[in-house]
């Protein structure tokens, strides 16, 4: 069947089991029953050993997923029959599913990728798997067989993304075929075995009205950001890990001009822009000889030669910050980027620090002049103790007064005193300050829409 031993099997067994097909309401109960099957580990290992004796990896790799499902299902059925193992069809299907996940999937955590309620999958060694659901971490009962099993899955993830993970390259950022972002770190850097962190993204694109419905920001704030994006203001999205920076970036992209040419630059491509003319660029790490690295700075320099209307950098964290500000200051208005920071003010200080760290020839005044000229808005995101993600503030960079960057907070979130930490309570407030960026919006005949937006409060 797989090129090592021939076995007879019924063609009907090649049909995909119902439990492996896409979710259908009438089959939810059956799927739940499948997942509840409790099998002896010794029995499963016995079948697994027999199965992999039959598998020729090169032949298996040449099969489509549907073909492989049929072959695996038939092989398990034949082993059970020959060994006279008392397993019913449902139990065989569970084993076949797990074997398939071992061959081409992510082993025991494959099923978590299909759960749209899960946003993060965190593997802390072979026997500990956490998930984040609804903003809160939960410990699952899923486990890999051993360290070797987890490491083999991690290597397969890296290989599929054109990366490698081994002792000479023990850290890697990659992405799965569904767009999920993956970070892998292995010993000796990781003390407790291989660590895999997966950030999932929703299958359906998120729009600004979706974020309003989820109380991530007010309708007034949403309209203001829509107008700001249409007016080609340069926007920096700041926040901590998991605050929703990329989600907001994707939503804002829906208000760029439909025919604008947009170039995105990322370490691992995860931005899913809602526009047709998008060029996505991805960095490349060093090869085994320590050569061939392509950094965000290299890609940004190249992007400037690609006639972009807008440039989007997934995350600013190194020397590329200088090129980003240069691009914003030389005709590429409407650029967007994200940065890790604790507040809007801290985001601007981080840019200063990055410029001073990587460009010793720049003085502080020159840096602040660049920032004041380049960045129009800083949108800061936060996540409260209940796990709710929201826009904490929208801050405008007004200009430079002597040696100080002048900013004004246009919108902010005012929390209420919490009686229940599981609830998101508070109000989104407009500060009643007239935006300095109104002049830029006038160029695109958006002044009336801006004033109508500000009158909403």
Tell me the DSSP string of 57-78: HHHHHTS-HHHHHHHHHHHHHH
Task: Spell out the residues 6+ positions from residue 100 whose beta carbon is closer than 8 angstroms to its own.
Answer: 68, 69, 72
Looking at the structure, tell me whether residues 304 and 381 fall in a common domain: yes
The SS3 assignment for 248 reads: helix
Residue 236 pLDDT > 90: yes
Residue 297 CA to residue 265 CA, distance in Å, equals: 9
Nearest Cα neighbor of 121 from 98, 189, 108, 165 is 108
Crossing angle of helices 65-83 and 89-104, in 10° steps, is 130
337-377 pLDDT per residue, tens: 999 999 999 999 999 999 998 877 788 898 999 999 999 99
Phi, psi angle pair for 65, to nearest 5°: -60, -45
Phi, psi angle pair for 258, to nearest 5°: -60, -35
Task: Report how far Cα 21 is from the mean position of its chain's Cα atoms.
Answer: 25
Strand partners, 430: 411
Residue 15 pLDDT > 50: no
109-142 pLDDT per residue, tens: 988 988 888 989 999 999 999 999 888 899 999 9
pLDDT value for 51: 73
270-280 pLDDT per residue, tens: 777 777 888 98
pLDDT value for 16: 40
Task: Report yes or no on whether pTM surpasses 0.85.
Answer: no
Q: Which of 199, 224, 243 is the last residue of a domain?
A: 199
Count of alpha carbons within 13 angstroms of residue 128, beta-carbon side: 8
Looking at the structure, tell me whether residues 355 and 427 fall in a common domain: yes
> Do the bridges between strand 262-266 and strand 310-313 make them parallel or antiparallel, or are there none, so unpaired?
parallel
Residue 60 pLDDT > 70: no
Is residue 137 a part of any domain in this protein? yes
pLDDT value for 297: 85
Is residue 4 a part of any domain in this protein? no
Domain that residue 32 falls in: 11-103
Count of alpha carbons within 13 angstroms of residue 302, beta-carbon side: 14
Residue 382 CA to residue 243 CA, distance in Å, equals: 5
Residue 439 CA to residue 40 CA, distance in Å, equals: 70
Helix residue ranges per DSSP H, 105-187: 110-113, 147-160
Residue 406 pLDDT > 90: yes
The sign of the CA dihedral 435, 440, 441, 442 is positive
Is residue 26 a part of any domain in this protein? yes
pLDDT value for 37: 54
SS3 sequence of 357-420: HHCCCCCHHHHHHHHHHHCCEEEEEEECCCCCEEEEEEEEEEEEECCEEEEEEEEEEEECCCCC
pLDDT value for 375: 95
The sign of the CA dihedral 244, 249, 252, 254 is negative
Nearest Cα neighbor of 116 from 97, 102, 134 is 134
Please give the structure tokens belonging to residue 357. Answer: 């760290």
160-190 pLDDT per residue, tens: 877 888 888 899 888 887 778 899 999 999 9
Q: Which of 43, 68, 103 is the last residue of a domain?
A: 103
298-347 pLDDT per residue, tens: 998 898 889 899 998 888 888 888 888 888 887 788 999 999 999 999 99
Other Cβ atoms closer than 10 A to 209 = 12
Is residue 234 a part of any domain in this protein? yes
Q: Which of 144, 169, 199 is the last residue of a domain?
A: 199
Looking at the structure, tell me whether residues 341 and 409 fall in a common domain: yes
- Max CA separation in the chain (angstroms): 85
Looking at the structure, tell me whether residues 214 and 193 fall in a common domain: no
Q: What is the CA radius of gyration of the chain?
A: 26
Instruction: Share the mean pLDDT of the chain.
Output: 83
Is residue 6 a part of any domain in this protein? no
Is residue 315 a part of any domain in this protein? yes
Looking at the structure, tell me whether residues 99 and 194 fall in a common domain: no
Looking at the structure, tell me whether residues 365 and 266 fall in a common domain: yes
Long-range interactions of 55-64: CB distance < 8 A, separation 24+: 55/2, 55/3, 55/4, 55/103, 56/2, 56/3, 56/4, 58/3, 59/2, 59/3, 60/2, 60/103
Nearest Cα neighbor of 68 from 19, 20, 4 is 20
**Number of folded domains that form the chain:** 3
- Roughly how many angstroms between the first and final C-alpha of the chain, as a whole number? 69
Residue 201 CA to residue 204 CA, distance in Å, equals: 9
Task: Spell out the residues 6+ positions from residue 254 whose beta carbon is closer than 8 angstroms to its own.
Answer: 205, 207, 208, 274, 275
Phi, psi angle pair for 188, to nearest 5°: -85, -5
Looking at the structure, tell me whether residues 56 and 129 fall in a common domain: no
Residue 356 CA to residue 368 CA, distance in Å, equals: 11
Residue 244 CA to residue 199 CA, distance in Å, equals: 11
Please give the structure tokens belonging to residue 25. Answer: 């309401």
- The CATH code of the domain that includes 191 is 3.30.450.90
Task: Spell out the residues 6+ positions from residue 28 whose beta carbon is closer than 8 angstroms to its own.
Answer: none
77-120 pLDDT per residue, tens: 878 887 778 888 888 888 787 777 777 778 889 889 888 889 89
Phi, psi angle pair for 169, to nearest 5°: -140, 75
Is residue 230 a part of any domain in this protein? yes
């Amino acid at each position: 069947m797989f090129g090592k031993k021939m076995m007879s099997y019924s063609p009907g067994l090649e049909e995909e089991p119902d439990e492996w097909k896409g979710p259908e309401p009438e089959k939810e109960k059956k799927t739940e029953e499948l997942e509840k099957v409790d099998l002896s580990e010794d029995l499963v290992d016995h079948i697994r050993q027999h199965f992999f004796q039959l598998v020729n990896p090169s032949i298996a790799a040449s099969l489509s997923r549907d073909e492989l499902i049929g072959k695996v299902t038939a092989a398990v059925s034949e082993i059970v029959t020959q060994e006279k193992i008392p397993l019913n069809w449902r139990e065989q299907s569970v084993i076949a599913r797990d074997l398939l996940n071992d061959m081409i999937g992510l082993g025991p955590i494959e099923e978590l990728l299909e759960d749209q309620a899960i946003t993060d999958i965190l593997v802390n060694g072979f026997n500990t798997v956490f998930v984040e659901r609804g903003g809160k971490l939960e410990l699952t009962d899923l486990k890999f067989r051993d360290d070797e099993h987890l490491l083999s899955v991690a290597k397969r993830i890296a290989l599929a993304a054109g990366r490698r993970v081994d002792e000479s390259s023990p850290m890697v950022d990659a992405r799965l075929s569904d767009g999920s972002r993956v970070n892998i770190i292995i010993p000796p850097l990781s003390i407790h075995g291989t660590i895999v962190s997966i950030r999932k993204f929703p299958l359906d694109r998120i729009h600004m009205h979706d974020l309003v419905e989820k109380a991530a920001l007010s309708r007034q704030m949403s309209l203001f950001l829509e107008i700001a994006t249409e007016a080609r203001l340069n926007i920096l999205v700041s926040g901590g890990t998991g605050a929703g920076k990329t989600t907001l970036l994707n939503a804002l992209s829906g208000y760029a001009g439909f025919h604008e040419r947009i170039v995105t630059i990322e370490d691992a491509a995860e931005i899913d822009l809602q526009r047709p003319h998008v060029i996505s660029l991805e960095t490349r790490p060093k090869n085994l000889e320590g050569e061939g690295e392509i950094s965000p700075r290299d890609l940004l320099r190249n992007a400037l030669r690609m006639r972009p209307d807008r440039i989007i950098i997934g995350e600013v964290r190194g020397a590329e910050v200088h090129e980003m500000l240069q691009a914003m200051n030389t005709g590429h208005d409407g650029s967007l980027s994200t940065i890790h920071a604790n507040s809007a003010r801290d985001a601007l200080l981080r840019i200063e620090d990055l410029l001073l760290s990587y460009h010793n020839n720049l003085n502080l005044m020159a840096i602040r002049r660049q920032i004041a000229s380049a960045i129009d808005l800083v949108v800061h995101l936060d996540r409260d103790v209940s796990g709710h993600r929201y826009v904490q503030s929208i801050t405008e960079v007004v200009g430079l007064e002597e040696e100080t960057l002048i900013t004004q907070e246009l919108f902010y979130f005012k929390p209420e005193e919490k009686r229940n930490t599981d609830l998101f309570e508070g109000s989104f407030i407009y500060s009643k300050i007239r935006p300095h960026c109104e002049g830029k919006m006038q160029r695109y005949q958006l002044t009336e829409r801006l004033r109508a937006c500000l009158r909403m409060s």
